[in-house]
Amino acid sequence: MDAATVGARIRERRLEKGLTQEQLGAPNLTGGYISLVECGHRRPSRDALDLIAARLDLEVDELLRGTPPGLEPELELRLHQVRRTLDDGDVETATTTAMSVLQSARQHDLNRVEARAEEMLGTIAERAGRPEAALAHFGSAEELWANEPIHLRVDARTGTARCLRFLGDARMAVHTLDSYRRDLLASRPDPHALMKTYAELIQGYFAIGLPENARDAAHAALRLEGQVDDPDEIACMHLTLARDDRIVPPNDVGVVFPIATSEATVGRSIDRGTERFLSRRPVSDGWRPERAIPRLVLRRVNPPETSG
């Protein structure tokens, strides 16, 4: 937190509200204290920031980072729309929008949004068959995630591994994922991050001649699906497994839905899972999910019977 910058924001907002320094500080803070804060000579405590922000009708983040209200969720929504745009094949619009989000996030120090924008640009480059450019974006995202919980970097790490494998360095791709898997297990394991990591390890293990490891990774991913609450991601994971008969027999591949799930909901999840699957593979990969979809068995789980 830069005290001078924060102080200048407080002064600007105070004047907009027509308040004196005494009025802003009352009853808990003195006018002299507010003067020192505004001049950058005093770094306000968190409690003082809470009081000042409330009096100025602002969020604390708006004082600390100058972030306009609602900007972060707005940028997250735009990134979600970028994925839809990319799935529709409009790479140019997707790239322009993702770059715009990236610049806004940087301007306002929204590190998580900036990291996700870098991941999206990596996905766009990967989809366009530009693995070197994708690798640079995923690397930038990893740096931005460095001080965040480890499970948040799963998309950057799996994207990096895919690019390395595409560039012919399957061993480094496996090492990158396997070290990340160990780090995840050493922390508080996140089922979603682990499932994606195991699913991505499968092709890497096959590429370096370790089919048993690939099958173990597949079954580890399958065991985790009951702990993941994103049906689209589960569908994507199953497409990853279904692309190779060496992983699991066709009849063992399926997507688990509650018994009451409608056919329309199941269909939408398969469609969205397919979109996610495609967005993570370069066009030149050559494999299309239509080859696996006929083998996907939609398994429904009956609720436990209750005794009368």
Q: Residue 250: its pLDDT value, please? A: 45
| pLDDT-derived band at 262, boundaries 50, 70, 90 | low
As for how many domains the chain has, the answer is: 2
Residue 209 within a domain: no
- In the structure encoding, which two tokens stand for residue 302, read together? 């009956």
Establish if 299 belongs to a structural domain. no
In this prediction, residue 229 has a pLDDT band, given cuts at 50, 70 and 90, of: confident
Tokens of 80: 């979600």
What per-residue confidence (pLDDT) applies to 293? 46
Of 110, 127, 148, the domain-final residue: 148
**46 & 101 share domain:** no
| Same domain assignment for residues 96 and 26 | no
Whether residue 74 sits in one domain with residue 33: no
Q: How confident is the model at residue 275 (pLDDT cuts 50, 70, 90)?
A: low
Same structural domain, 11 and 60: yes
Report if residue 202 sits inside a domain.
Answer: no
Tokens representing 283 are 């066009």
Domain boundary among 65, 94, 116: 65
92 and 77 in a common domain: yes
Residue 257's pLDDT band (cuts 50, 70, 90): very low
What proportion of the chain, given as a percentage, has pLDDT over 90?
A: 42
Instruction: Inform me whether the pLDDT recorded for 283 exceeds 70.
Output: no
Structural domain includes residue 217: no
Q: How far is CA 31 from the centre of its chain?
A: 44
CA distance 97 to 105: 12
Domain that holds residue 98: 68-148
Q: How confident is the model at residue 267 (pLDDT cuts 50, 70, 90)?
A: low
Which of 39, 65, 91 is where one domain is finished? 65
Looking up residue 131, the CATH number of its domain turns out to be: 1.25.40.10
